[in-house]
Amino acid sequence: MSSPLKPIDFEALRKPQAKPVSSPTVEPHVRPTAYRPTLTVRDWLNVALICAVVFFGCLWLFRGSDGPGPNPGPVVDVDGLHVLVLTPDDRSSLTSGQNEFANSAKIADWVEQNGGKYRRYPESQDITNEEQVWQELRQSLSSPHHLAVLKDRRLTKLEIPDGIDAGIRLLEGFK
Amino acid sequence: MASYKGTPIFDDSNYRQLVSQTDKHGGSFGSGFDPQAVGRYGSACPGVEYANIPRSEWKDRIEEKERKGLFPEAWFKRGNVKILNQRSWGYCWMYGVVGGMQLRYAMTGRQAPHLNPFYPAWLGKNGANRGGWGGEALGYIDKYGVPLDSVFSGQPTSRSSFDRHEVKENAKLHKVWKFTELRRDSFQALMNMWLSDNPLPVSQAFNWWGHLVYAMRPVVIGSDAFGTEIGNSWDISWGNQGRGIIAESKASAAEQICIDIVSTLAA
């Protein structure tokens, strides 16, 4: 009686299965299914919308604010204290205290007594003949009602203070 | 003579001496006021009216603004404004306006430039020694500009002095970009401007004096008496270092023009 089990031919397993030479390679007409996204116009619009939201959101977050309160801005490569006051042509849009700050020679005196330089210009003034530092400070102010303070090459934009005393208190912080 | 902090006051009792001094110092402004003079040269706001400030409030408001350094005169000192000297030329109408320009430059925060008004006056009058008006002066300033005294000094009368390229280019840097005329013959209009939120230097042409100067602040000279402090163009030997006070009774000017915006100086 012979055994039903055949011995394993290990040699055969090691050899590669040889293909018949004449056997043609049949390429399927349809490739095996794989995930390949097909974006519609609507999808692209959504992507563009998201990009726009992110872009303008970043702009808003890192914008140069002219609002109240110190807001350190870009560095201007000039030493010393410089104070530029930019007034609106229509002075009625300033409070009485703001007008006093903008007009008072005492503010200019204070700045110079503390080793700084002072300028004040109305918004419609062309200052292209001025020193470069004043032009840069002017460009940093997107609207009047503000002053730009440059100290140790750090630019700060502030709303015009409501009064002379309040203004000097504010400037004391830049001494 | 009455005075205010060392500055002489001219009023009804002594104004005639100013008139006689005019002969000595030379020229007046033009005779016969031309009501179109200012408008013709492009006044931004001819006859502008500021909010009316009642006389009863003048004293307190003046003293408060004085204390806070809000009048142009506060900038006169710190800006080292030069008192001009027209000598024997009848160009007060130009010297007064340019004096106001110098003060307006000081009000930007920098040292005032020493300008020479003779240049635009002489060119405007084609060399003639004749009177004029503040509005006329502004027209010539717009046309020719005003050079620095360091570039064009003295009162030369040779055409070649005026034709120098350097002078012409320098003069173009100094102009008045905006001015406003106040109501004529009105001291109230002058006070309204000075007690507003934006006090400015103002040229004043006085018919009784035949002279034009610029005013830099109002002053309280009595319990209900006021005046205007002026800068003259008769050198510093006149008045108090070239400055004097015209009492209210004499301070209503036939022409009064505020120097609002001047061009910026070169760095």
* Structure token digits, residue A129: 């003949």
CATH of the domain at B95: 3.90.70.10
The alpha carbon of residue A155 is apart from the nearest alpha carbon of chain B, in Å, by 19
Who wins on pLDDT, A128 or B119?
A: B119
Of B17-31, B72-86, B241-255, give the lowest mean pLDDT range.
Answer: B17-31
Q: Which chain B residue shows the shortest CA-CA distance from A134?
A: B267
B12 is in which domain, residue-wise?
A: 3-262
User: What is the rounded CA–CA span in Å between residue A150 and residue A80?
Assistant: 7
Of A94, A122, A131, the CB nearest to B197: A94
Mutate to test the interface with A, among B49, B66, B70 (most CBs of A within 10 A): B70
Burial of B97 (0-12, 13-18, 19+ CB in 10 A): buried
Indicate if the pLDDT at residue B49 is higher than 90.
no
The complex's ipTM works out to 0.87
Q: Residue B27: its pLDDT value, please?
A: 52
Q: What is the pTM of this model?
A: 0.80
| In a domain? residue B91 | yes
The alpha carbon of residue A48 is apart from the nearest alpha carbon of chain B, in Å, by 46
Q: Residue A69: its pLDDT value, please?
A: 45
Of A51-55, B44-48, B91-95, B185-189, give the lowest mean pLDDT range.
Answer: B44-48
Mutate to test the interface with A, among B197, B216, B217, B262 (most CBs of A within 10 A): B197
Q: What is the pLDDT along chain A (175 residues), one digit of tens a residue?
A: 445 556 666 565 555 554 544 444 445 454 545 555 567 888 888 888 887 887 776 565 554 444 444 455 566 788 899 999 999 988 889 999 999 999 999 999 999 999 999 999 999 888 988 999 999 999 999 888 899 999 988 999 999 999 999 999 999 999 8
Indicate if the pLDDT at residue B87 is higher than 90.
yes
Does B265 sit within 8 Å of A106, measured CB to CB? Answer: no
User: What is the rounded CA–CA span in Å between residue B145 and residue B236?
Assistant: 25
Q: Residue B42: its pLDDT value, please?
A: 39
Q: Residue A90: its pLDDT value, please?
A: 85
| In a domain? residue B67 | yes
Number of compact structural domains in chain B: 1
Strand (E) positions, B62-210?
A: 176-181, 202-206
Q: Residue B112: its pLDDT value, please?
A: 96
Does A124 sit within 8 Å of B261, measured CB to CB? Answer: yes
| In a domain? residue B267 | no
| In a domain? residue B257 | yes
| In a domain? residue B193 | yes
Does A129 sit within 8 Å of B264, measured CB to CB? Answer: yes
- The β-bridge partners of B247 are B227
User: What is the rounded CA–CA span in Å between residue B234 and residue B44?
Assistant: 30
Residue with tokens 């005019």: B22
| In a domain? residue B109 | yes
Mutate to test the interface with B, among A82, A99, A100, A103 (most CBs of B within 10 A): A103
Is the separation of the CB atoms in A122 and B261 below 8 Å?
Answer: yes
Average pLDDT over residues B236-251: 96
Q: Where are the alpha helices (DSSP H) in chain A?
A: 10-14, 41-61, 96-103, 105-113, 132-140, 164-172
SS3 label, residue B240: strand
Fold for the domain defined by A71-172: Glutaredoxin (3.40.30)
DSSP structure string for A75-89: E-S--S-EEEEEE-S
User: What is the rounded CA–CA span in Å between residue A143 and residue A84?
Assistant: 13
User: What is the rounded CA–CA span in Å between residue A156 and residue A163?
Assistant: 19
**Chain A residues near residue B267 by CB distance under 8 angstroms:** 129-132
The model's pLDDT over B145-166, given as tens digits with 9 standing for 90+, comes to 999 999 999 999 999 999 999 9
User: What is the rounded CA–CA span in Å between residue B205 and residue B133?
Assistant: 8
Is the separation of the CB atoms in B118 and B92 below 8 Å?
Answer: no
Q: Residue A12: its pLDDT value, please?
A: 58
The alpha carbon of residue A70 is apart from the nearest alpha carbon of chain B, in Å, by 23
Average pLDDT over residues B29-47: 47
Q: Residue B185: its pLDDT value, please?
A: 93
